[in-house]
Amino acid sequence: MANDETLNATQLLTLLTAQRDEYVRLRKLADRQRLLVVGEDAEALLAALADRQRSVEALAAVNERLAPYRREWTRVFAALDDASRRSAKTLLEESSELLSSVMSSDREDAELIGARRSAVSHVLSRSETTGRATAAYAAQDSNPAARDTPLAETHA
């Protein structure tokens, strides 16, 4: 039984390390994403998002393998020796911090993209108004009667 628990502890720590490493990768991809959002490089951003999707899928696979440990977490954690317990705790804390950091970065990116979208919408709205005014002037220019009427008379 002790060998089985040792094997389980080793497997658990291997999975927790893989999870942490995938969060490190995801953090690096979030940093890359930020640069691409700021740089407005849509094509490279789509490639980075595809890389992130693969990383999320890898995390899902690790989490699936961790599920049996999570279901019995109290018992599993209590059965670990002190060194394994410290290692597991450290790996879980690192993973949690990395996930929090990625989520925060994603919120900031979403806000940046939203602000940029609003700015573009505003510019397009102003452009549409300018376009209508230009069209009205063009229509007046093409109407000889309107062109010969003094400005004061057209508003009277």
Q: Which residues contact 83 (CB under 8 A, 6 or more apart)?
A: none
pLDDT tens digits for the chain (156 residues)? 344 555 589 999 999 999 999 999 999 999 998 988 888 778 998 999 999 999 999 999 999 999 999 999 999 999 999 999 999 999 999 999 999 999 999 898 888 877 766 656 666 666 655 655 566 666 665 655 555 555 545 454
Distance from the Cα of residue 45 to its chain's centroid: 11
Answer whether residue 143 is part of any domain. Answer: no
Q: Is residue 155 a part of any domain in this protein? A: no
What's this model's pTM, rounded to 2 decimal places? 0.69
Domain-located, residue 154: no
Give me the number of domains the chain comprises: 1
Structural domain contains residue 87? yes
Cβ pair 91, 20 in contact under 8 A: yes
- Distances in Å between the Cα of 48 and the Cα atoms of 21, 24, 37, 52, 99 are 18, 15, 10, 6, 17
13: in domain:
yes
Determine, yes or no, domain membership for 124: no
Q: Is residue 83 part of a domain?
A: yes
- Residue recorded with tokens 């452009």: 127
113 assigned to some structural domain:
no
Q: Which domain holds residue 63?
A: 2-108
